[in-house]
Structure 1
Amino acid sequence: MNTKAEQTKSVNALDIGKLVLAGLVLAAGIFAYSWFGSDSSIPQSVLMLGVLAALIVALAIGAFTAPGRRVRAFLGESQFELRKVVWPTRDETLKTTGIIMVVVVILSLLLGLIDLILKSVVLDWLLKLGS
């Protein structure tokens, strides 16, 4: 567990301006897609490339802000931690899957049997006693 105290980091005005600019670029890309989407002379693939370009530019602008640097650091640490994961082998995966399937079948049969017993108790015994 990380024992460092989490510090609140304020975002300065320049970073806020960059984030607003990134949002405006993305909104402009989406607006252009919807505006020119009704015009049948522009292919749909070109419109999608425009939105993708706007998204990439917006992400690039946002990456150079303090929150963007924190996200990049987080992604780098996550990638480092993923290298530490020991993934199961194919044989272990198949055995575990088989065990889970057997347990599911056994539990479904058990629950079906309990349902059948409760149905017979309620319908045959309890309802006949009341009449």
Structure 2
Amino acid sequence: MNSRVEQSDSAGDIVKYVLALVLVAAGLFAFYWFEGQWPNVARVLSAGGGVVAGVVVFLTSRKGAQVREFLSESRFELRKVVWPKRQEATRTTWVVILVVVAISLLLAFFDVIVQAAVKWLLAR
């Protein structure tokens, strides 16, 4: 990410944040308020439309631009990832399973030993 001096939000951005929240809240309000009056499809579309409209308004603000830049940089970095082949992933999965089983058995053994020691001490 770029190292920039953070600036405070302008009045226009604050209005956009509030408008985005109002749009999301309105969509959710319509979803619950019109239960039984509107078909479920219309209620889901109202909630989805409110969320989408809120996100669109938010993305036009300065913070929204930062979010878009972050997502763009993240996508660029994901292209650099060397993903394992299927065979390598399968082998690694088996190693993890075997280690988990071994540690589970070791902890169970220690649990039995501690339990026997506590019973022996309490029996005295």
TM bin, normalised by shorter chain, reads 0.7 to 0.9
After TM superposition, the structure 1 = structure 2 runs for residues 1-131 of structure 1, keeping only pairs within 5 Å, are 5-39=3-37, 42-124=38-120, 126-127=121-122, 130=124
Structure 2, unaligned stretches of length 5 or more?
A: none
Hey, what's the Cα distance between the residues in 2 that align with 1:118 and 1:23? 55
Length-normalised TM-score, structure 2: 0.86
Hey, what's the Cα distance between the residues in 2 that align with 1:73 and 1:16? 20
Range with bigger deviation, 104-113 or 11-20: 104-113
How many residue pairs get aligned? The number is 124
Q: Which amino acid aligns with 1:67?
A: K
Length-normalised TM-score, structure 1: 0.82
Hey, what's the Cα distance between the residues in 2 that align with 1:96 and 1:106? 15
Q: RMSD in angstroms over aligned alpha carbons?
A: 1.9
Q: Percent identity?
A: 40
Query: Shift of the alpha carbon at 1:30?
Result: 1.5
Structure 1, unaligned stretches of length 5 or more?
A: none
